[in-house]
Amino acid sequence: MNLLEFKDVTKYFGGLAALKAVSFYTQPEEILGLIGPNGAGKTTLFNLISGVYSPSSGEIYLNKDSIKGLKPYQICKMGVGRTFQIMQPFGNMTILENVLTGVLFGRGSRLQLNEARKKAIDLCEFVGIGDKVGAIATEVTLADQKRMEIARALAVKPMLILFDEVMAGLNPTEIDEAIDLVERVRKMGITIILIEHIMRVVMNICDRVIVLHHGEKIAEGTSEVISKDKEVINAYLGEEI
């Protein structure tokens, strides 16, 4: 059974179609890559899934239930977590407090505060920042802020996580560590949709890849197939990988 389904989804901003009749699906526990040039509609697609925007037309289903028109907090409680291209921590709070908010307000949360705190600490340790839980979120490195965003997304007990360029700005060693972390998240039984511009990441970890260009889906398939697609090469890659 498909976890998420887009069916002919279009989103207009005024007279501009940011997405045009896009259809796709995700299967449980897969990593689906989402690539394309800047302005292709990738973040708009994430905002539609997470309830920031509502589609102008088309349908979005999560576990066969329509989520069209639901609020972000409602979709979150149905099991969708996300990170942001421009990170959005609670800047005056510690890393632990940031993650704790997700534990307390996520899907099916019924934990007492001491139990929720332990869960938040466990998640910080899982992503590699267990020794920094008392640090102010905006005062740690970029890599640690990204790890915190992943921990906060995991804290809502998601079935599906939307990763929006979680590896942007990282050095090669940090990218390798992030790849390992994404794989470990998948092994928790979580489906992942990954926006990424670093093609070695897409090639290494994505089961399938969708390519957007000017709001339209121009290709879909395995990373190997996508890397040889002439339309994708012309629109985005510039050369065959």
Domain 4-23+35-190+205-226 part of CATH 3.40.50.300: yes
Q: What is the pLDDT of residue 228?
A: 84
The average pLDDT across 213-230 equals: 91
Q: Where are the strands (E) in the chain, listed by range?
A: 4-13, 16-26, 31-35, 57-62, 65-66, 80-82, 160-164, 191-195, 208-213, 216-221
The average pLDDT across 10-21 equals: 95
> How far, in Å, CA of 227 to CA of 187, rounded?
26
pLDDT at 71 over 60: yes
The answer to whether the CB of 20 falls within 8 A of the CB of 66 is: no
CB-based contacts of 82, cutoff 8 Å, min separation 6: 46, 49, 50, 153, 161, 162, 163, 164
User: What Rg value do the Cα atoms of the chain yield, rounded?
Assistant: 18
> How far, in Å, CA of 214 to CA of 127, rounded?
35
- Which of the four pLDDT bands, split at 50, 70 and 90, describes residue 233? confident
The answer to whether the CB of 28 falls within 8 A of the CB of 224 is: no
Beta partners for residue 194, in sequence order: 33, 163
Q: Name the residue with tokens 């534990």.
A: 103
Q: What is the DSSP letter of 17?
A: E
Residue (of 22, 20, 29) closest to 2 by Cα position: 29
> How far, in Å, CA of 87 to CA of 237, rounded?
26
The average pLDDT across 114-123 equals: 94
Model confidence pTM above 0.75: yes
pLDDT at 241 over 80: no
The average pLDDT across 56-62 equals: 97
Q: What is the pLDDT of residue 54?
A: 96
* Domain layout of the chain by residue ranges: 4-23+35-190+205-226
Token readout for 88 is 């959005």
Q: What is the pLDDT of residue 240?
A: 57
The average pLDDT across 22-28 equals: 95
